[in-house]
Chains A and B, each alone.
Chain A
Amino acid sequence: MSTANSSSNPSADVIKLADLVASASLPPTDGYVMSDEERHEIEECLHHYDDNRAASIDALKIVQKKHGWVPDGAIAEIGKAIGIPAADVEGVATFYNLIFRRPVGRNVIKICDSISCYLTGYDEVRNAISAHLRINLGQTTPDNRFTLLPICCLGACDKGPVAMINDDTHGNLLPDTIPALLEQYK
């Protein structure tokens, strides 16, 4: 487990995706049994489109809403439910950053690192979050309470620095107010 990084060295910002992938080999997941509720929700989505494939992203979100992430077995099940190859579902799942193919914490912090937030104090806020939770970008706290991820511009640039915690958008963040903000999420 790496320690919190509160250095102001800009190179510490760099998320090395290759390292993330290599660092932890994922535990194998068991076969996935799709609930009737999930199946029903996915079937509902099909009505909105003139081709079933279009529901692949919706289906991944439905599974993720229930499990927090998309387990291996769900990929094939989604493929069967909408009638496309599992490989195509996996291709979609691994393309989009809001679909998680590995477990995440109960609360997901998405911190904007784009230009307006960078100019208004992103580094300080990210350091404060990292120091408080003792995790770096891409990591989850050992108690599974928080995962910290970078995200591109959240479209609230007038309130930078901005982060989302789950579905909530928080603006005008200051390093000092980070502990109290995080305390609201159990």
Chain B
Amino acid sequence: MTADLSETKPLTARIVAGRAPLNLKEYEAAGGYRAVRKALKELTPADVTKAVKDANLRGRGGAGFPTGVKWGLVPSLEKAPGSRYLVCNADEMEPGTFKDRLLMESDPHQLVEAMIVAGYAIQATRSYIFLRGEYVTAAKHLNAAIAEAQSAGYLGRDILGSGWSMDLHVHTGAGRYICGEETALINSLEGRRANPRAKPPFPAIAGLWGRPTVVNNVESLCNVPHIVNNGSAWFLGLNQGKSKDGGTKLYGCSGRAKRTGIWELPIGTSAREILEEHAGGMKDGLKLKAWLPGGASTDFLMPEHLDLAMDFDTIAKAGSRMGTGLLTVVDDRQNMVSVVRNLEDFFARESCGWCTPCRDGLPWTYKTLVAMEKGEGRPGDIEQLEKMTRFLAPGRPFCAHAPGAMEPLQSALKFFRGEFEATIKKIDQTTAAHAAA
């Protein structure tokens, strides 16, 4: 039934809409836990890491860092004996992103299997799925799958007689977008406020409780069992020649398009195909005005960018980021000042407050946009916003939160400057003279 699908759409081959996720028996019958047996019985941890490196699997959480390289940064057991951790970042909260929810709710065993294989590769002693608190169904399904895997001997002590032991625990969060930043996530998992940490040291050296830690996104991890089963060359070929990156990608579309949803497609599929073929285009009577390639923290692109391949390098070259790869489409009835005001409201509220540029800069940005939206913009406001995009550029604030917030702002100012200018109140001579005095 799934033989063909598993060749082209490995991540979603076992997912059938409207049906409960596969239980352990059904999952095993569909080829599940084969990768665990193969990895633990036939491969060394280094073999698994090499296979993932060769497959050029790039992190699907948004940054695109090669997953195998991240694992390779973890020091060897000889150099750093003792505890080490694998953490799955399942804190999906990037506005416009709804892919990890599908993977966890509809095929929880796939992620559990992936955690075991990835945990083996870095020789983790414990592993955690850091799940956002609102994903109640995902928590239920994952906990059921873990209990089944545990009783089948895939988790716990001396897994499949390999001598390697690992536990897996679902930790549910209590909100806050910043928990998706990997070092903030580690602080949160330690039971602290989710403020990011300074890097270096990177988590691979000193992460959870100061021990070597790997943090990977749900979708990145879910690819791992398929790479182990079918090999790196197969994985690279999944892109059907559309990209340098390997594999498929969960792409999606939200906003006022005809058929919003999520589809597993070769990585490098064009945004036009995603919007026009899979999402059926914009709703009747609406035209595409701008689009976010992969979440609120990516730069806007324009309709003329639709033919670009949706992969990390191509979208970066066009001045944005692929991010999570789920499009948010903005229609021609929207005012960009209001759209950006909504985005900056989100970022201002979700700032953790740790560093001054972000804590003060984002509310300032937001308040300026609120005034502009009411038609009460003042001369100099646009220049002030532009200054923000420089003050909050990468390297100035403590983490990537504020720089992410500046991406939609700077691109909206570039493409839709007229809409921002239209909000500036004309100042008459008297007022100007008064202000000058």
Contact surface of A with B, Cβ cutoff 8 Å: 10-11, 13-14, 48-51, 53-58, 60-61, 84, 88, 91-92, 95-99, 110, 113-116, 118-120, 151-160, 164, 167, 169
* Residue of A with least CB distance to B91: A155
- The listed residue (A10, A116, A160) touching B374 by CB distance below 8 A is A10
Beta-carbon contact of B193 and A154 below 8 Å: no
Assuming the contacts A98-B174, A110-B134, asked whether A92 and B93 have C-beta atoms less than 8 A apart, the reply is no
8 residue pairs, one from A and one from B, having the closest CB atoms: A96-B174, A157-B254, A114-B95, A158-B260, A56-B191, A97-B175, A98-B175, A116-B254
Beta-carbon contact of A50 and B334 below 8 Å: no
Contacts of A55 in B (CB 8 A): 191
- The listed residue (A110, A153, A158) touching B252 by CB distance below 8 A is A158
- The listed residue (B101, B172, B292, B296) touching A156 by CB distance below 8 A is B101
Determine, out of B10-18, B112-120, B342-350, the stretch whose residues face the partner at the interface: B342-350
* Residue of B with least CB distance to A15: B349
* Residue of A with least CB distance to B350: A152
16 A-B pairs within 8 Å (CB atoms) are namely: A10-B338, A11-B370, A49-B191, A54-B191, A88-B192, A98-B175, A119-B255, A152-B177, A152-B350, A153-B296, A155-B97, A155-B101, A155-B134, A157-B252, A158-B252, A160-B260
Contacts of A154 in B (CB 8 A): 134
Beta-carbon contact of B296 and A95 below 8 Å: no
Q: How far is the CA of A59 from the CA of B331 in the complex (A)?
A: 45
* Apart from A48-B171, A115-B343, A155-B92: 13 A-B pairs, beta carbons within 8 A: A10-B370, A10-B374, A53-B191, A56-B192, A95-B176, A96-B175, A110-B134, A114-B95, A152-B95, A153-B93, A155-B134, A157-B252, A160-B260
Contacts of B252 in A (CB 8 A): 157-158
Q: Flag whether B69 is at the interface (Cβ < 8 A).
A: no
Q: How far is the CB of B95 from chain A (nearest CB, A)?
A: 4
Beta-carbon contact of A167 and B169 below 8 Å: no
Beta-carbon contact of B191 and A120 below 8 Å: no
Q: How far is the CA of A61 from the CA of B93 in the complex (A)?
A: 20
Q: How far is the CB of B52 from chain A (nearest CB, A)?
A: 26
- The listed residue (A92, A95, A98, A155) touching B100 by CB distance below 8 A is A155
Main secondary structure of the interface of B (DSSP, over half): mixed
Q: How far is the CA of A113 from the CA of B338 in the complex (A)?
A: 13
Q: How far is the CB of B346 from chain A (nearest CB, A)?
A: 6
Interface positions of B from 59 to 86, Cβ below 8 Å from A? 83
Q: How far is the CB of A70 from chain B (nearest CB, A)?
A: 11
Contacts of A160 in B (CB 8 A): 254, 260
Contact surface of B with A, Cβ cutoff 8 Å: 83, 92-98, 100-101, 126, 132-136, 167, 169, 171-177, 188-194, 209, 252-256, 260-262, 292, 296, 326, 328-331, 334, 338-339, 341-343, 345-346, 349-350, 352, 370, 373-374
Contacts of B188 in A (CB 8 A): 57
Contacts of A53 in B (CB 8 A): 190-192
Assuming the contacts A11-B374, A99-B174, asked whether A116 and B261 have C-beta atoms less than 8 A apart, the reply is no
Contacts of A115 in B (CB 8 A): 95-96, 292, 296, 328, 339, 342-343, 346
* Residue of B with least CB distance to A54: B191
Q: How far is the CB of A58 from chain B (nearest CB, A)?
A: 8
- The listed residue (B96, B174, B256, B338) touching A114 by CB distance below 8 A is B96
Contacts of B350 in A (CB 8 A): 152
Q: How far is the CB of A167 from chain B (nearest CB, A)?
A: 5
Q: How far is the CA of A156 from the CA of B256 in the complex (A)?
A: 14
Q: How far is the CB of A53 from chain B (nearest CB, A)?
A: 4
Beta-carbon contact of B256 and A119 below 8 Å: yes
* Residue of A with least CB distance to B408: A115
- The listed residue (A51, A91, A98) touching B193 by CB distance below 8 A is A91
- The listed residue (A51, A91, A119, A157) touching B190 by CB distance below 8 A is A51
Contacts of B261 in A (CB 8 A): 158
Contacts of A167 in B (CB 8 A): 136
Contacts of B173 in A (CB 8 A): 57, 96, 98
Assuming the contacts A61-B174, A155-B92, A157-B96, asked whether A95 and B254 have C-beta atoms less than 8 A apart, the reply is no
Beta-carbon contact of B95 and A153 below 8 Å: yes
Beta-carbon contact of B175 and A116 below 8 Å: no
Beta-carbon contact of B370 and A14 below 8 Å: yes
Contacts of B133 in A (CB 8 A): 61, 98
Q: How far is the CA of A45 from the CA of B363 in the complex (A)?
A: 37
Assuming the contacts A14-B370, A119-B255, A158-B253, asked whether A92 and B192 have C-beta atoms less than 8 A apart, the reply is yes
Beta-carbon contact of B328 and A157 below 8 Å: yes
Beta-carbon contact of A157 and B194 below 8 Å: no
Contacts of A92 in B (CB 8 A): 191-193
Beta-carbon contact of B342 and A113 below 8 Å: yes
